[in-house]
Chains A and B, each alone.
Chain A
Amino acid sequence: MEERLYDLIFITRPATPEEEIKKVISGIEHTCAEKGGKVEKTENWGTRKLAYRVKKHREGIYVHQEIRTTHGELIAELERRLRVQDVIIKYQTVRLDEDLKRQKKLGDKRALRVARRPRRAPAAAPAPAPAGPEQTAAAS
């Protein structure tokens, strides 16, 4: 099974003390360790203004984590746990590995295309002409 990368962002109430947040984070790590996943990165963005009112709050503490796992059910378990805690007012998980794979593929293709086309001095007039059909062939 290939490895998947997920983005998890959750928002807690604005006046949540630091140890509560740490408890939540360690709970997530614990769950990941149980089910075979790994928390790659944890970022606490601190208090941010929300774009709209969530549960009557205008601000919240954002925490962002990256989780790498081969088991997709881990995410369902994490979401279930996040849902029951009422310090957390919003959460979102996004699967990222396909996007990153595609980004890498496009980047590699672009690098290949750039390397294949020899860089000529722009003064020469026939330079665009041979580059034209080559570009359309590579772009397809």
Chain B
Amino acid sequence: MAEEQKQTQAPGGGGPPRREGGSGGPRREGGGPGGPGGGPGGPGGRPRGKRQYFRKKKVCKFCVEKMDFIDYKRPDILSQFVQERGKILPRRMTGVCSRHQRWLGVAIKRARNIALMPFAGSAAGTQTPRVVVPAAAHAAPAVAHPAPPAATEAPKV
């Protein structure tokens, strides 16, 4: 609000949105209440929310399934909680409770260490572990391309 006095002297010196010199003032107050009234009331209080926060339903998948041990050897479960680029999703996106989010982070990092999940890049190439009976008639490892089709090549390197 103190900028208004400066703006009459140097129009356009302030921020870009206040293009009109004199009428820029009342315009701003008018724009204020329009923001949270239009939005879903996410952040509450800020005049212009940058993006609309909608809360995912507060249901933690692991609590519902009563899963107390998040296995790092199951990338199919873990990749639900990971972005396309491989980054771990925050709790507010997935609705996981704090305890399970901690364990999930540990499991994802372990899986990344052992190349079951990527550090960066698409997780679409991960497979579920196939439990092969040892010493069974397993196809000779000399075969270059195994039976499961290599779905998507990692775009990097």
Q: How many Å lie between the Cα of A61 and that of B148 in the bound state?
A: 14
Is there an interface contact between B114 and A90, defined as CB atoms closer than 8 Å? yes
Is there an interface contact between B116 and A47, defined as CB atoms closer than 8 Å? no
Instruction: Judge whether A135 is part of the interface by a CB distance below 8 angstroms.
Output: no
Q: How large is the interface on B (under 10, 10 to 19, 20 to 34, 35 or more residues)?
A: 35 or more
Q: How many Å lie between the Cα of A51 and that of B73 in the bound state?
A: 13
Is there an interface contact between B118 and A51, defined as CB atoms closer than 8 Å? yes
Instruction: Judge whether A81 is part of the interface by a CB distance below 8 angstroms.
Output: no
Nearest-neighbor residue (CB-CB) of B75 within chain A: A51
Is there an interface contact between A51 and B129, defined as CB atoms closer than 8 Å? no
Q: How distant is A39 from chain B, measured CB to nearest CB, in Å?
A: 12
Instruction: Judge whether A11 is part of the interface by a CB distance below 8 angstroms.
Output: yes
Q: In terms of DSSP, what is the predominant structure of the interface of chain A?
A: strand
Q: How many Å lie between the Cα of A4 and that of B72 in the bound state?
A: 18
Residue picked from A99, A100, A107, most chain B C-beta under 10 Å: A99
Is there an interface contact between A61 and B141, defined as CB atoms closer than 8 Å? yes
Q: A17-B142, A52-B154, A103-B69 are in contact. Are A45 and B114 (CB under 8 A)?
A: no
**Chain A neighbourhood of B96, CB < 8 A:** none
Q: How distant is A123 from chain B, measured CB to nearest CB, in Å?
A: 24
Nearest-neighbor residue (CB-CB) of B117 within chain A: A51
Q: Which residues of B65-115 are within 8 A (CB) of A? A: 66, 68-69, 72-73, 75, 110, 112-115
Nearest-neighbor residue (CB-CB) of A25 within chain B: B134
Is there an interface contact between B68 and A52, defined as CB atoms closer than 8 Å? no
Is there an interface contact between A54 and B138, defined as CB atoms closer than 8 Å? no
Is there an interface contact between A49 and B125, defined as CB atoms closer than 8 Å? yes
Instruction: Judge whether A73 is part of the interface by a CB distance below 8 angstroms.
Output: no
**Chain A neighbourhood of B126, CB < 8 A:** 49, 51
Instruction: Judge whether B121 is part of the interface by a CB distance below 8 angstroms.
Output: yes
**Chain B neighbourhood of A42, CB < 8 A:** 134
Nearest-neighbor residue (CB-CB) of A106 within chain B: B68
Q: How many Å lie between the Cα of A46 and that of B66 in the bound state?
A: 31
Is there an interface contact between B157 and A53, defined as CB atoms closer than 8 Å? yes
Q: A51-B117, A60-B115, A90-B114 are in contact. Are A100 and B69 (CB under 8 A)?
A: yes
Query: Residues of A at under 8 Å CB distance from B?
Result: 9, 11, 14-18, 42-54, 59-62, 64, 90, 92, 94, 99-100, 102-103, 106-107, 110
List 11 contacting pairs A-B, 8 Å CB cutoff, sorted by A: A42-B134, A43-B132, A46-B141, A47-B146, A48-B129, A49-B150, A52-B154, A53-B157, A90-B115, A103-B69, A107-B68
